[in-house]
C-alpha cells in the first residue's frame, strides 16, 4: 500500500527544490539524481514533491496542487510517475524484482510492476517520466547491477530520483552516473512544526515529548516519528534506569520484552531479534554519546545530550568494555543466537556500569 502523499511542502528543503526546478526550466536537469542526507530528514517526501512540481501544468516550479496532473500525482494515479518504496510494498529491501520482471521468483517476493516495465512505456502525458526510489542503499549487488542498465540507457525525458542515507553502500558505477544533491538536517523549530502535525500520535501528544524527540533526532522529524512508534522513548528510559541503579536486570528483562512498539520481522522470532537489536543499537548510541561528551563535544550537538548525567562518573575503560560486550551481542544476534539470552547479557553489562558508577561516586 502506498503512503498517501503529504499535502505540505517539504520544510527546510525549499531552496534545494527551487534550484532543481530552475535547472529543469533551462533544460539542465541531469537524468539521474541521488538525494542524500541523514535518515528521516524528508528526502523521499522531497523527491515526490520535486516530481509533483515537474509534472504540474504550471511547472516546473512549486506545484499548484489543483491542476489535473497535481491531483493525479497526489492520488498516486499519474501514469508518468512510478514510486519504488519497498517498505510500503511490505518488503524489507529493494530486491531485483522491483528493477526487472522475472518469471521465476520466490512466492514472498515483490510481484508488482518493475522499473523495466515502466520505462518501456512512452510518456502518457507528453512530459517527464519519473521514477522515485526510496532508500536505494537497500539494494544488493544483483539489484544494483540490474538497475545500472536503467541508468546507462535512460529514455527521453526520463528522470530517476534516488534517495539514500548511505550512498557509500552503492556501487561506484552507480555513484558516478548520478548527480548528488545534499539534504541537510532541519532546524529545531522546523522539526517541531512537523511533529506538531502528528500531535495526535501516541508519544507525540505532549509538547515536552515533541521537544525531547526533536532534540534526540537532531533535526530529522522522520526519525523522531519512528522513535515514537518503535518504543524508543521507554526503551531509552529503561537503559538509563539500569545504569542509574534504579532498576535491576531481573526487572528490566521482563519490562523490556513487554514494551509497546513495532519491531519488523516476518515471524515472531524475527521480531524478537529486531527488538533485541534495537536495544543494543540504542544502548551503543547512548554510550557513544557519553564518550563524545567526555571528549568535550557540546551537549546540544549530541542526540542524547539531555540524558548523559549517568555516564559522567564512569571511566573511559569501563565504557569501552561495556561497548565491546554490546558490539559482540549485536553481532551474535544477527547470527541467529537466542535474542533472550543475548538481551540478558546486555542488561547485565549495563547494570554492571551502575555498580561501578556508584563505587566511583563513593570515592572521596
Ligand atoms: Zn499543478
Neighbours of 250 (CB within 10 A): 11
Distance CA(315)–CA(360), nearest Å, equals 9
pLDDT tens figures, 41-54: 999 999 999 999 99
Rounded distance from Cα 144 to ligand 1 centre (Å): 33
Rounded distance from Cα 179 to ligand 1 centre (Å): 26
Q: Is 30 exposed, middle or buried (0-12, 13-18, 19+ CB in 10 A)?
A: middle
Rounded distance from Cα 26 to ligand 1 centre (Å): 19
Rounded distance from Cα 127 to ligand 1 centre (Å): 13
pLDDT of residue 153: 81
Give the domain-ending residue among 162, 182, 202.
182
Looking up residue 321, the CATH number of its domain turns out to be 1.20.120
Rounded distance from Cα 352 to ligand 1 centre (Å): 60
Distance CA(115)–CA(96), nearest Å, equals 10
Residue 163: enclosing H or E segment and its boundaries? strand 158-164
Give the domain-ending residue among 182, 209, 238.
182
Distance CA(313)–CA(202), nearest Å, equals 34
Sign of CA dihedral 307, 311, 316, 319: negative
Distance CA(181)–CA(173), nearest Å, equals 17
Rounded distance from Cα 72 to ligand 1 centre (Å): 10
pLDDT of residue 356: 53
Rounded distance from Cα 17 to ligand 1 centre (Å): 16
Give the domain-ending residue among 160, 182, 204.
182
pLDDT of residue 2: 58
pLDDT tens figures, 295-341: 999 998 899 998 998 888 888 899 999 999 999 999 999 888 899 99
Calculate the alpha carbon distances from 329 to 283, 320, 323 in Å: 12, 14, 10
Rounded distance from Cα 75 to ligand 1 centre (Å): 13
Rounded distance from Cα 9 to ligand 1 centre (Å): 13
State the total domains in the chain: 2
Looking up residue 96, the CATH number of its domain turns out to be 3.40.50.300
Rounded distance from Cα 128 to ligand 1 centre (Å): 14
Bin 129: left if φ > 0, else alpha if -120 < ψ < 50, else beta.
beta
24: Cα separation from own chain's centroid = 28
Same domain, 270 and 177: no
The answer to whether residue 46 sits within a structural domain is yes
Coil/strand/helix, residue 261:
coil
Rounded distance from Cα 277 to ligand 1 centre (Å): 44
Distance CA(117)–CA(21), nearest Å, equals 27
Same domain, 348 and 266: yes
pLDDT of residue 123: 66
Same domain, 161 and 82: yes
Cell numbers of 240, please? 538509563
Same domain, 160 and 46: yes
What is the DSSP code (8-state) at residue 296? T
Domain with 134, as residue range(s), is 14-182
Rounded distance from Cα 51 to ligand 1 centre (Å): 11
Rounded distance from Cα 59 to ligand 1 centre (Å): 7
pLDDT of residue 3: 66
Rounded distance from Cα 61 to ligand 1 centre (Å): 9
Ordered mean pLDDT values, 10 residues apiece, the chain (364 residues): 74 96 95 96 96 95 96 93 92 93 88 92 80 96 94 87 96 96 96 93 90 94 91 92 92 93 86 94 95 91 90 88 95 90 95 65 40
Rounded distance from Cα 70 to ligand 1 centre (Å): 4
Rounded distance from Cα 241 to ligand 1 centre (Å): 52
The answer to whether residue 140 sits within a structural domain is yes
Calculate the alpha carbon distances from 1 to 4, 76, 279, 354 in Å: 9, 11, 29, 46
Bin 336: left if φ > 0, else alpha if -120 < ψ < 50, else beta.
left
Which of 316, 332, 324, 36 shows the shortest CA–CA distance to 167? 36
pLDDT of residue 238: 95
* Number of residues that make up the chain: 364
Rounded distance from Cα 201 to ligand 1 centre (Å): 31
Contact 289, 303 (CB under 8 A): yes
Contact 322, 350 (CB under 8 A): yes
Rounded distance from Cα 85 to ligand 1 centre (Å): 23
Q: Is 267 exposed, middle or buried (0-12, 13-18, 19+ CB in 10 A)?
A: exposed
Rounded distance from Cα 62 to ligand 1 centre (Å): 8
The reported pTM is 0.84
Amino acid at each position: 500500500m502506498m503512503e498517501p502523499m503529504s499535502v505540505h511542502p517539504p520544510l527546510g528543503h525549499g531552496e534545494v527544490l527551487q534550484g532543481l526546478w530552475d535547472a529543469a526550466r533551462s533544460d539542465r536537469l541531469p537524468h539521474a539524481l541521488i538525494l542524500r542526507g541523514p535518515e528521516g530528514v524528508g528526502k523521499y517526501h522531497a523527491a515526490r514533491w520535486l516530481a509533483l512540481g515537474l509534472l504540474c501544468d504550471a511547472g516546473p516550479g512549486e506545484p499548484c496542487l489543483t491542476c489535473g496532473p497535481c491531483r493525479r500525482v497526489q492520488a498516486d494515479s499519474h501514469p508518468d510517475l512510478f514510486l519504488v518504496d519497498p517498505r510500503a510494498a511490505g518488503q524489507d529491501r529493494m530486491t531485483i524484482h522491483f528493477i526487472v520482471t522475472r518469471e521465476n521468483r520466490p512466492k514472498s517476493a515483490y510481484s508488482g510492476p518493475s522499473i523495466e516495465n515502466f520505462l518501456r512505456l512512452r510518456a502518457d502525458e507528453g512530459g517527464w517520466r519519473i521514477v522515485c526510489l526510496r532508500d536505494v542503499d537497500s539494494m544488493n549487488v544483483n539489484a544494483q547491477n540490474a538497475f545500472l542498465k536503467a541508468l546507462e540507457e535512460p529514455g527521453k525525458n526520463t528522470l530517476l530520483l534516488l534517495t539514500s542515507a548511505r550512498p557509500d553502500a552503492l556501487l561506484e558505477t552507480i555513484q558516478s552516473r548520478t548527480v548528488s544533491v545534499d539534504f541537510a538536517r532541519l532546524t529545531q523549530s522546523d522539526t517541531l512544526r512537523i511533529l506538531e502535525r502528528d500531535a495526535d500520535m501516541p508519544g507525540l501528544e505532549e509538547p515536552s515529548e515533541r521537544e525531547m524527540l526533536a532534540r534526540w533526532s537532531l533535526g530529522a522529524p522522520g526519525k523522531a516519528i519512528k522513535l515514537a512508534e518503535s518504543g524508543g522513548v521507554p526503551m531509552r528510559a529503561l537503559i538509563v534506569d539500569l545504569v542509574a541503579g534504579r532498576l535491576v536486570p531481573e526487572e528490566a528483562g521482563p519490562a523490556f520484552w513487554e514494551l509497546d512498539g513495532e519491531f519488523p520481522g516476518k515471524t515472531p522470532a524475527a521480531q524478537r531479534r529486531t527488538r533485541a537489536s534495537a536495544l543494543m543499537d540504542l544502548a551503543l548510541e547512548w554510550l557513544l554519546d557519553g564518550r563524545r561528551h567526555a571528549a568535550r563535544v557540546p551537549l546540544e550537538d549530541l542526540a542524547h545530550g539531555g540524558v548523559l548525567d549517568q555516564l559522567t562518573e564512569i571511566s573511559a575503560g569501563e565504557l569501552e568494555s561495556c561497548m565491546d560486550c554490546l558490539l559482540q551481542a549485536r553481532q551474535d544476534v544477527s547470527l541467529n543466537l537466542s535474542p533472550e539470552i543475548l538481551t540478558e547479557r546486555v542488561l547485565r553489562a549495563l547494570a554492571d556500569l551502575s555498580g561501578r558508577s556508584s563505587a566511583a561516586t563513593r570515592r572521596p
